[in-house]
Structure 1
Amino acid sequence: MVDRMLLSGEFSYAAFATQQHHIHQSPEYCVPRTKHLNSVFDANVNRFIVSSDLGNGKSIFLEQLTFEAHSRGFEVFAVNTQLPEALAELDILLTSSAKRMYLIDGYARYRKAVKHIGKRLPASSVLVCAIAQSVDDLLHSEIAEDMCGAPREIDLNILDSAELAAWDGLLERWGFWEGRIQETRVDRLEFLRAQCGSENRSIVLSLFRETRLSRKIDEIVNYFLRQNPHHSKAFIAVLINALCQNHVDWPRITEWLEIDNAALKVDVLSSPVGDFMSGTSRWYEFTSTELASYILNHYDFAIDEMVEVYSKIVRETAYSADDLRGGFDARENLKELMRFRFLTKLFSSRGVGVTAINAVYRNRCSAPTLPFTA
């Protein structure tokens, strides 16, 4: 269960609930952001913006917050659409004086929903939005205007001393310290503080490099790129979608790339991935954003194949942008896929990265005109 969360980013509500019911013991599943969780309920405001750099735990925090809100008697609604009928349903919910919490993971993506809820939010309810960047004064003012009230910011980037101590206990509990287990607790905490910068992302990356997870990652990459090269395009598609935070619909990707999804599922679950992803319906989301970036940084891929897969996904996403119902999601996905920052993550190899990005632009220029929407 812990390996699944670290590698795929999938959070288990049940595992976290079990951990929190033994709150006086050291965490056995994940590090709770207790101070920040309590701040949502102890504040005299009901609008919050949760900020962190990519990989520092905003989505996991929202999952933890869901449990905490339930335990305090709140109904929780995760808002991940802006379809008119969904907003109409929200109108009905927002007329109630019941204790309700509305969670939006992606302020920019779901800005229309943020405005809609913020304008109607009753005093008994709480609105929490997450954003994958730091919030300066200008952005804070924009968010306050959208939320129809000044939000309190919760910055998750830096772990406090209690959270670092919880990480130490968790790593010891599951044998992740390996060679460092001989060090004193003070030295291990100093490693988390100094070498990992007191950041979730850096701690997880150190696990990818230095523990049994590194061997598991080797096994996964070898399975797809060397032992079963006929699945290499599917593997690249999985990594691209992970970098896009799995916003692109996987069945569509398999259709675009002519992947036999049923056969792929059988092979994936019989591969090293099956060790930690068996029993989940979203078996194809077996790498987190951080793991996808790590793999692309540390392993060699056939660049022509990566360009081909990426260009196909971009092209078909663009063709979907004018769909009356799904067009919004397609346009947002297209924005993410086309960002230069995204391209530099995808084609991260220093030796061929620039060449690959140039190939992508040439591919786009030679393709039929796409319905890009601003």
Structure 2
Amino acid sequence: MDGLKKFDRLNMSPNNTDISELLEKIASGNAILFTGAGFSLGSENVLGEEPPTVKKLTDIIANEGGFDGENNLKSTANYFLKVNDDSVLIKILSELYTIKKISPSHKAILTPKWRRIYTTNYDNVISLAMMDNGKVVKNITTDDSSETYFKEDNVCVNINGSIETLKNDVIPDSFKLTTSSYLSPDSFITSRWFPSFKKDLERSSAIVFVGYSLYDIEIQKILFESPEFKKKTYFINHKSASPLTLFELSEFGKVYTTGVDGFAKEIVNNLQKYVREEEAFYLESFTEYKLEKHTETIRDHQIIEFLLHGNIENFFIDDSITSKLMNPHIVMRDQLNEVNELFKNFNYVTILSDFGNGKTVFLREMISYLTINGKRVFEFNDIDGDYSKDIEQLSSLNCELYVVIDNYEMYIEVLQNILLLNDPKIYVLLSTRSSNHDQNMQLIDKSDQIAQVNIDLLNDNEISDLNNIIDTVGLWSERAGLPEQRRFDLIKENNKSQFSHTLLNILQAPQIRDRIANLLSSLFKKEDNKDTILAICILEIMNIPLTYNNISEIALNNSIYNTELINNTDFKQLFPSKNNQIISKSSLFARNLLAYHFNPNSTVTKLLEVAEKFHSVRNNSEFEKKIYKSLLRFAFIERVVPLTNKRDMLIRYYEQLKSRLGGLKNTPHFWLQYAMARIALDDYNNAQNYLETAYAKAYGDYDTAYLDAQQARLWIKLSITEFDQNKSMDYFKKAHNLLCNLYDDQYKYRQVEAYLEYYDTKYTKLSKKNKANFLNAVIEMHKKLQELRKGYTTESNRMDHCYNKLDHILQNT
């Protein structure tokens, strides 16, 4: 025992004096339990024996087959099945691993609520223990859908398969006779459940291994390098374990040498004192925003970090709301008051902006604004929590409150839940990119009750504030010497009064690009690091949370869990992290990285690999489905393909996509996206061919509205480039007639905006008759938009831009 005490200073607790730390985490109901072979000791199978270890199982199978198993279960089982039917081996396994009696310790360990149970054991000890506790366990394998079971309680994931899944005649693929009962990288890591496993690790209060030996944790190479995981990982081992074994386990977490029985005793005797009485108000999916007390003054480097990366502490935003600062760092939007006024007439307001124009920052300003004005504000942050129960609890509060959902298109079911409740005390602030909104509204009941505010354009006061902030931190560079009015004009005229254009110009400045390149140079020496940063950029542009799990799924590696990368000074400057999530928030920065700092061929190759992976798992969950759809969309691919040789890279991507993804060439959606790529590249002949292919493959009830919009777009482009004025007008009229029959949404009016380009390039060259035809088309669309504008709650959306362009034509003819 003296030898064990020497390890106490490393990460070990042989005297178990501090097991209270673990019990408190288990009492939360959010800990994960892993059981290995040692957990089942003390149980009794139908033969009246303990279930055998892997070594003993190997010997039993080999003896039954009359050969030497050489301590290799996988080879032994494979050879046995070559000369025997599956049913013979099933009978052996059923007798050995069908448990009829468990120990009190098994029941005790399964008494608490566990977030999830994982086991590499074949037996049914967990099922019996749960049953003795009055619970029914849902036994699943790694082949089962995470979308179906991830939110369920009392789920046990049988990593190597379960005796309960064996039939009389066939051993299923889910039953793995591996060389050791550990988490096998060959099968588990590539399984459908592995992404959910990583989510469990990230969100659990504790990760508790019971009955595992050193050889059972091969997966440590992939996951357990994360300091966040190590801090909450615990091993329950027996006192007779060798000091070396205990030391090696302590490298990956804290070790308790109570053994299974001692651990069970601790649970029976002491767990209850850590179980809090059920609180009247505990939320899983929402977090209430609280103002923070602080004395910190924002520094220039923090302002630059915010402008370039979108990363800033909440209390600095609070400061901007509450006082006029000597060192301004945020453009406070006048539309904060507009949204506040809208909430007097609407319970739902959506903030819209185009790519990179600051909708998430605006939400943060609005959250601070509401909180400072005495409102209770709850941010949605976890789709895997019980949001239905949370919403009911929020409704039970006897006060007015605000719920905030950023990128609501990813959480339509949450919004529908709130709409269905229809509680007048709950106000909902939403956000999404403008390009997503019209399509999303078609999926939502009562969408007419949702007001919208577009924040794309900065007004003159806001432009002055942005000009001042950029000047204060020295980001105007060589333009710093320009008069203030000239810099103002640069933002208003050259950058079209938008954050996105202004910040892109800053990011493209040579000194900023060189600074970023220097930070990336050491990181890019490792290919896995480069793929991880690429994954972060892809997710940022897709508007998907930057959790470590999501990043590793896109990177096709697990480097994001590696402390060497996470603690790298250069990486932390670019991508600070907290609680297993990258906290930077700037799609513009991500796009800039891809445009200027990645090799085009490498990026396209990686995108194709990711597309291939998600094509095979696209039906697993909403996350996989969203990734897959984005990887097909031209609007996304055009943003992530680097600028160098972009034309060839786009064509290469779509050419290889259809050959690598089985069945894709038979879908109209693929040919639509490929046609859009060709239109953008001014390759109109191929674009027309691909649109016709898409129409030909649009069977049954396929909605051709998007196809029609792109066909109209192509015809307008052809009308502008066509030299013969009569042919030009024929193209234009075909486009106009097609657009008149489409839904009144942004996809339609985005194409109508091109009427102004037709006017600027063609109108003076048209005959009197064709001028009349053109003006009639403009008047028709203008009148339609006049009617639609009566229902608007703001003047800065796609249809208003279109209306203003048509109005310009009519005012000048």
Counterpart CA distance in 2 for 1:202 and 1:282 is 31
Matching residue within 285, 309, 312 for 1:8: 309
Aligned residue identity for 1:168: N
SS at match of 1:176: coil
Matching residue within 569, 572, 578 for 1:274: 572
Mapping of residues 1-374 of structure 1, within 5 Å: 1-22=302-323, 24-25=324-325, 28-33=328-333, 35-43=334-342, 44-45=344-345, 46-80=347-381, 85-133=386-434, 142=442, 146-147=445-446, 150-210=449-509, 212-225=511-524, 227-229=525-527, 231-247=529-545, 249-251=547-549, 253-254=551-552, 257-263=556-562, 265-267=563-565, 269-275=567-573, 277=575, 280-281=578-579, 284=582, 288-301=586-599, 303=601, 305-317=602-614, 323=620, 327-348=621-642, 349-365=646-662
Q: Identity of paired residues, percent?
A: 15
Contact 1:95-1:122 at 8 Å conserved across structures: no
Return 5+ residue gaps in structure 1 as ranges.
368-373
Counterpart CA distance in 1 for 2:638 and 2:532 is 20
Counterpart CA distance in 2 for 1:211 and 1:30 is 24
Deviation of 1:9 (Å): 2.5
Aligned residue identity for 2:638: T
Deviation of 1:172 (Å): 1.5
The superposition leaves residues 328-357 of structure 1 with CA deviations (integer Å, 9 ceiling, x where unpaired) of 333333333332222222224233221133
Counterpart CA distance in 2 for 1:86 and 1:141 is 21
Counterpart CA distance in 2 for 1:83 and 1:266 is 29
Aligned residue identity for 1:30: I
Greater Cα shift, 178-187 or 248-257: 248-257
Deviation of 1:281 (Å): 4.6
Counterpart CA distance in 2 for 1:211 and 1:167 is 21
Contact 2:532-2:560 at 8 Å conserved across structures: no
Deviation of 1:189 (Å): 0.5
Deviation of 1:71 (Å): 0.6
Aligned residue identity for 2:537: L
Residues 60 and 25 of structure 1: is their aligned pair in 2 closer, same or farther, counting only changes over 3 Å?
same
SS at match of 1:175: coil
The superposition leaves residues 227-267 of structure 1 with CA deviations (integer Å, 9 ceiling, x where unpaired) of 4456332232222222222436433543672333344x434
SS at match of 1:110: helix
Aligned residue identity for 2:596: H
Counterpart CA distance in 2 for 1:278 and 1:236 is 15
Counterpart CA distance in 2 for 1:222 and 1:357 is 30
Contact 1:81-1:110 at 8 Å conserved across structures: no
**Partner residue of 2:748?**
none
Q: Which has the higher contact order (CA 8 A, sep 6+)?
A: 1
**Partner residue of 1:371?**
none
Please, what TM-score do these two structures have when normalized by structure 1?
0.82
Q: Which has the larger radius of gyration?
A: 2
Counterpart CA distance in 2 for 1:233 and 1:7 is 21
**Partner residue of 2:41?**
none
Residues 246 and 9 of structure 1: is their aligned pair in 2 closer, same or farther, counting only changes over 3 Å?
farther
Return 5+ residue gaps in structure 2 as ranges.
1-301, 665-701, 703-813
SS at match of 2:405: strand
The superposition leaves residues 119-155 of structure 1 with CA deviations (integer Å, 9 ceiling, x where unpaired) of 334333321111201699x769758x63565333211
SS at match of 2:423: coil
